Amino acid sequence: MSKSNDPGDFASRLLALSQQLLSMAGAVKTVPEEEDTPPNPWGSLGETPDESLLVYVAEAMYRHRQARRELFPHGLFGEPGWDILVDLYISSKRNRQVTVSDACLASLVPSTTALRSLAQLEQEGLVERHRDPQDGRRIYVRLLPEAEVRMVAYLTGVLRERQAAAY
């Protein structure tokens, strides 16, 4: 039985084959499409996790950083500004006021370095200092609302990445 050389028959077989190929290509994706890319955990928040969970993540982060300092040479991983922000976030959620000296202690660096970091955080509009109305010698420091929003975004991203890694 010979195959037909009819151009119409050839065109229909070619069309059928191309449809099969398109179908197979749709089933096996080799190049991820835009909607297949993992969501950016740092982007839009949508639903924010429970505040207590975010505080737990922040506390765990702070503990891990302290443990790292005990295992590796002092000053190798210095990020005093970040340590201050994390401590201020945790303290604000625990309804604890933080003095400037407490913030410096939380950074685990010399006080002059911590004060420079605190001044930089202040210049960036992330924290503010305010005097104790009862004792004008005592100065407190707190996160500004924009910094808290950023901390929530960051901690939410960390939490989402860890949850995704668990699956």
Decide if 108 is inside a domain: yes
Decide if 27 is inside a domain: no
Which two three-digit tokens encode residue 10?
């050839």
Decide if 92 is inside a domain: yes
* CB-based contacts of 61, cutoff 8 Å, min separation 6: 86, 158
CA 90 to each of CA 54, 57, 76, 85, 160: distance values in angstroms, whole numbers, following the listed order: 9, 10, 24, 9, 19
47 or 118, which is more confident = 118
pLDDT of residue 160: 86
Decide if 124 is inside a domain: yes
Residue 33 pLDDT greater than 60, yes or no = no
pTM of the complete model: 0.67
48 or 136, which is more confident = 136
Domain that holds residue 136: 51-165
pLDDT of residue 42: 45
pLDDT band at 77 (very low <50, low <70, confident <90, very high): confident
pLDDT of residue 149: 94
At 93-117, the pLDDT tens digits run 999 999 999 999 998 889 999 999 9
Distance CA 39, CA 114 (A): 36
Decide if 40 is inside a domain: no
pLDDT of residue 95: 95
Distance CA 155, CA 152 (A): 5
Residue 56 belongs to a domain with what CATH number?
Answer: 1.10.10.10
Decide if 131 is inside a domain: yes
Q: HSE, CB side, 13 Å, CA atoms: give it for residue 35.
A: 1
Residue 28 pLDDT greater than 80, yes or no = no
Decide if 9 is inside a domain: no
Tell me how many domains the chain contains.
1
Decide if 74 is inside a domain: yes
pLDDT band at 148 (very low <50, low <70, confident <90, very high): very high
